[in-house]
Amino acid sequence: MLLVIDVGNTNIVLGVFDGEILVKDWRIRTIRDTTADEFNILAKALFADNGIRLSDISDVVISSVVPPAVPILDRFCEKHLFRKPLWVNPASVRNLMPILYNNPAEVGADRIVNAIAAYRRYNRSLIIIDFGTATTFDAISEKGEYLGGAIVPGIMISSEALFQKASRLPRVEMFMPPEHVIGKDTIDSIKSGVMHGNAALVDGMVARMKKEMGSNPFVIATGGLAILIADLSESIELVDSALTLEGLKIISQALRES
């Protein structure tokens, strides 16, 4: 079995593949001051609930945008899985996709994983929107080149800033958009501004990126809040929630075969 791990600033997403099948996946909080042994206890508990043993894991591939997590997960893999993980970074995947950033090393590992996965699956020009701690937009050419993209504050970050800086505004959970764009009370007005506002941001950014790309890219979304925003957006054509995990599997297969 293949263990894939994507370490984000807010969450760590883990998945276990048996061949091409994603057996199970989990989303846990990113903890920067844990230890390899503590992570092992957590992993064993998650696995045990689904009949998976640590000894079933034959390979591990990891992407991370959180530097403190690297030595922790390295040690976890070596001490408890008895193998070294494959780390995804611009250098390790340079033969899988040309990265046309001025400095390829600056591109987040998760963005590279999404780009490779999406192009391998859809084989066309793409715009990938990942709703995470930050909302990222990534452009992929028809030739499979990573062109670059844009980064904006994520939905939860911007919402949290609003609640902290505007003391009279109530904290609102963003699980369901309001029925109307024009809110009739404070809660619906906040929901509208955050959710319809982010949908409008997406549509505006996609339109501008398409113009620069000079093509008609397929627009896909991933990340925790992708489904909510996709329902409000006019430009998102598909939500692929498992894109990053699938990408780690694809990269693992491609690198180990090369």
Q: How far apart are the first and last CA of the chain?
A: 20
d(CA 140, CA 127): 6
Give the start-to-end residue ranges of the domains of the chain.
2-87, 104-248
At 188, list the tokens.
């619906």
Give the pLDDT confidence score for residue 41 in this predicted structure.
93
Tell me which of 172 and 140 has the higher pLDDT: 140
Whether 110 sits among the annotated catalytic residues: the reply is yes
Fold (topology level) of 104-248: Nucleotidyltransferase; domain 5 (3.30.420)
CATH H-level, domain 2-87: superfamily: ATPase, nucleotide binding domain (3.30.420.40)
Predicted pLDDT at 174:
67
Convert the pLDDT of each residue in 33-92 to its tens digit. Answer: 889 999 999 999 999 988 898 899 999 999 999 999 999 999 999 999 999 999 998 888
Q: Supply 111's token pair.
A: 């963005």
From the candidates 18, 37, 49, 110, give the one annotated as an active-site residue. 110
The answer to whether domain 2-87 and domain 104-248 are alike in fold is yes
Residue-wise pLDDT tens digits, 229-252:
998 999 999 999 889 999 999 998
The per-residue pLDDT for range 17-31, each reduced to its tens digit, is 999 999 999 998 888
Beta-sheet strand order (sheet of 11-18) = 21-29, 11-18, 2-7, 59-64, 86-87
Name the token pair of 61.
Answer: 């591939």
Distance CA 119, CA 135 (A): 20
**Can you state the angle between helices 109-122 and 243-257, rounded to 10 degrees?**
80
How far apart CA 173 and CA 212 sit, in angstroms, is 36
Beta strands in the chain (DSSP E): 2-7, 11-18, 21-29, 59-64, 86-87, 126-131, 134-140, 146-153, 218-223, 238-239
Cα 24 from Cα 47, distance rounded (Å): 9
